[in-house]
């Protein structure tokens, strides 16, 4: 899967996801840090990338209609520190059928 990590995620996820066979790019590496969500989204979709973010704006299915994009995973953790985010994303990509998430909006939540 081609993935774009938003700037609000730990960069060490890049190597973990690459080790799982994914092609990963980041918002900062592409020079999009601090840019509007629309710019990040357009860049991800132009390159056919699945977006991973903590930004709830991407949950607006009126703006990001499921099936019209490469997919998005929105993480909402009770304690969203870098270690917890790293653990949750790697856990999801090891245990879930993430290859079936294309075109969907997925929520990675922890109680």
φ/ψ of residue 107, rounded to 5: -115, 125
Q: Looking at domain 2-109, does it have CATH number 1.10.3450?
A: no
**Cβ neighbours, 10 Å, residue 91:** 12
pLDDT 10s per residue in the chain (111 long)?
999 999 999 999 999 999 999 999 999 999 999 999 889 999 999 999 999 999 988 888 888 877 788 889 999 898 879 999 999 999 999 999 988 888 888 887 664
State pLDDT tens for residues 52-71. Answer: 999 988 888 888 877 788 88
d(CA 68, CA 26): 21
């Amino acid at each position: 899967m081609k993935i774009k990590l938003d700037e609000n995620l730990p960069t060490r996820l890049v190597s973990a996801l690459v080790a799982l066979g994914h092609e990963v790019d980041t918002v900062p590496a592409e020079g999009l840090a601090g840019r509007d969500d629309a710019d990040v989204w357009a860049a991800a979709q132009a390159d056919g990338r699945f977006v991973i973010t903590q930004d709830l704006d991407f949950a607006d299915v009126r703006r990001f209609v499921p099936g019209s994009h490469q997919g998005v995973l929105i993480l909402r953790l009770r304690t969203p520190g870098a270690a917890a985010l790293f653990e949750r994303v790697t856990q999801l990509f090891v245990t879930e059928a993430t290859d079936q998430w294309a075109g969907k909006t997925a929520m990675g939540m922890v109680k």
